[in-house]
Amino acid sequence: MNRRRFSRGLALLALTPSLPAFAQTAPPLRTNAGRLRKRLEDLSVFGRPAGGTFADGVSRTGFSDADVEAHAWLQREMRALGLEPKVDAAGNVSAVRPGTVPGLAPILFGSHIDSVRGGGNFDGDVGSMSSLEVMATLIEKKVATRHPLEYVVWAAEESNFGSGLHGSRMAAGLIEEGEFERVQNGVTKREAMKRLGGDASRIAEARRARGSFHAYLELHIEQGGKLDRAGVPIGVVEGIVTIDDYDVHVRGFANHAGTTPMAERRDALVAASQIVQAVQQIANGEAGAQVGTVGQMTVRPNAPNVVPGDVEMTVEFRDLDGAKVARLGAALKERCAQIAKASNTEVEVVFTSRHEGARATPSIQAAIEKAAASLSLNSMRLPSGAGHDAQAIATLGPMGMIFVPSVAGISHSPRELSRWNEIAQGADVLMATILELDASAPWTPGR
């Protein structure tokens, strides 16, 4: 009882950071920056290139040996804090610290620790280790919360077996057709999942109910350069963009580059190049933050002395506004039809997938801004152009994301970098936001 009352007093402290008189006399609660950095460095060895250093990044793809070792290490770290890790049927790891008010839903927070091949030590890791540090600080400082706090590390967030957000999608019941039977490196996903303790036959048990949490919070590196360029340490995510993917197949006619006059050619690469330019024009054709990308292109037969007969390419459009994303795709189809006609080629545009984005809950965006202000940190709102576990979890309840700067906007690369002091600031804002939300009313599904 004593402990509870004491804890609630501390929680109140954190919940009223804007009280000027109070703020001047007692500094806001802060995480331990050194401890956070050490955990990030400790984690970085799992999947580090042989003979490399922290700066050489990491290849810790989901379900790989390095990922399995990192998960084992993570659970040891959790236990050392007195937390009891649970592994669900998707391979997600979580632990709950009880709250002081019976019956309240937990505040859920965390991220992922798998990486792309040849990735950096910040994507996912920063949010996962900051969240653990928040738990460590609250435990160490004996700060109790009304709501239970649930720390989670989602399994296999990066693209793997043909899709990403594995663990969070499983939690949201967003299973794709036949996805457990997909094969990568000769192994089915069904088999690979077992390496993290997952079990496809019991996957329904990994599902979380709508309204089963008070709020979901995820701290992440921006992976873009907006915060870094603006010199703003905290990003308040407005939402995660919707992504539409297309496969574009250009069929011309392969022929001898020496004997086929320019006017007689049906050059698939010339047409494909016009499509690349069209994607630029479409994405730049209206105001807004939408992007359009041709990331992949395969030319056949791909010989210096043969007019290309066949080009396959990918096109993707992203924006917070799903209707706008669809509109850009319609413009692509129209332009491709024009290009096909003018170039005497056939152009097939196949819509391959929509990744639904998610809007961040406005009250959580406000809570993050308030938390940043309480720590005298500037913040700015911005969309997330990258996908995150948060977009799957947003289908179940309120969601918010905090971004910390990525130096020069580089990500999915060993050169990915976030500054240690800004990571610590992000962890502090995450903790302050949790305490802010701990004081707010419970969420009702359907609101």
> CB under 8 A: which stretch of 14-22, 42-50, 237-245, 432-440 binds a second copy?
237-245
20 near a second copy, judged by CB under 8 A: no
Tell me which of 26, 76, 205, 280 binds a second copy, using CB under 8 A. Answer: 280
Distant-in-sequence, close-in-space partners of 122: CB < 8 Å, separation ≥ 6? 40, 221, 406, 411, 416, 417, 418, 423
Q: Which stretch binds a second copy (CB under 8 A): 59-67, 130-138, 268-276, 437-445?
A: 268-276
Q: Are 424 and 243 in contact (CB under 8 A)?
A: no
Q: Which stretch binds a second copy (CB under 8 A): 19-27, 138-146, 358-366, 410-418?
A: 410-418
Q: Considering only residues 67, 133, 150, 222, which one is a binding residue for a second copy as defined by CB under 8 A?
A: 222
Minimal distance, residue 64 CB to a second copy, in Å: 18
Under rule CB under 8 A, residue 305 binds a second copy: yes
Q: How many CA atoms lie within 13 A of 288 on its CB side?
A: 18
Q: How far is the CB of 415 from a second copy (least distance, A)?
A: 10
Nearer to a second copy, 180 or 253 (CB): 253
Please, what is the minimum distance in Å from the beta carbon of residue 281 to a second copy? 11
Residues 28, 16: Cα–Cα separation, whole Å: 10
Residue 121 sits in the site that holds a second copy (CB under 8 A): no
Q: Which is nearer to a second copy, 242 or 361 (CB)?
A: 242
Q: What are the Cα distances from residue 31, in Å, to 250, 314, 430?
A: 54, 43, 10
Kindly tell me which residue out of 50, 262, 323, 441 binds a second copy, with binding defined by CB under 8 A: 262
- According to DSSP, the β-strands at 255-256 and 306-307 are antiparallel
Q: Of the two residues 208 and 220, which places its CB atom closer to a second copy in the complex?
A: 220
- Shortest distance (Å) from residue 254 CB to a second copy: 7
Considering the complex, state which of residue 27 and residue 258 has its C-beta at the smaller distance from a second copy: 258
CA 414 to chain centre: 17
Interface with a second copy (CB under 8 A), residue total: 60
Residue 309 CA: distances (Å) to CA of 12, 180, 250, 303: 69, 36, 8, 11
Q: Is 292 in the site for a second copy (CB under 8 A)?
A: yes
Could you tell me if residue 231 is left (phi over 0), alpha (psi between -120 and 50 degrees) or otherwise beta?
left
Interface positions, 359-398, toward a second copy (CB under 8 A) = 384-387
CA distance 78 to 95: 8
Which one of 64-72, 134-142, 144-152, 260-268 is the stretch in contact with a second copy (CB under 8 A)? 260-268
Contact 411, 371 (CB under 8 A): no
In angstroms, give the least distance from the CB of 135 to a second copy. 28
Stretch that binds a second copy, among 63-71, 130-138, 203-211, 306-314 (CB under 8 A): 306-314
The stretch near a second copy (CB under 8 A) out of 4-12, 33-41, 42-50, 248-256 is 248-256
Query: Could you tell me which stretch among 25-33, 42-50, 85-93, 292-300 binds a second copy (CB under 8 A)?
Result: 292-300
| 328 Cβ neighbours under 8 A, 6+ residues apart | 244, 282, 283, 290, 292, 317, 319
Nearer to a second copy, 254 or 331 (CB): 254
Binds a second copy by CB under 8 A, chosen from 314, 321, 354, 363: 314
Among 66, 90, 237, 270, binds a second copy (CB under 8 A): 270
Q: Is residue 225 close enough to count as binding a second copy by CB under 8 A?
A: yes
Stretch that binds a second copy, among 3-11, 72-80, 251-259, 417-425 (CB under 8 A): 251-259
125-140 and 65-80 are packed helices; what angle lies between their axes, rounded to 10 degrees?
Answer: 10
Using CB under 8 A as the binding rule, whether residue 257 contacts a second copy is answered as yes
* Choice between 332 and 371, CB closer to a second copy: 332
List of residues contacting a second copy (CB under 8 A): 159, 222-226, 241, 243, 245, 254-262, 264, 267, 269-270, 272-274, 276-277, 280, 283-284, 289, 291-299, 302-308, 314, 316, 318, 384-387, 406, 409-413
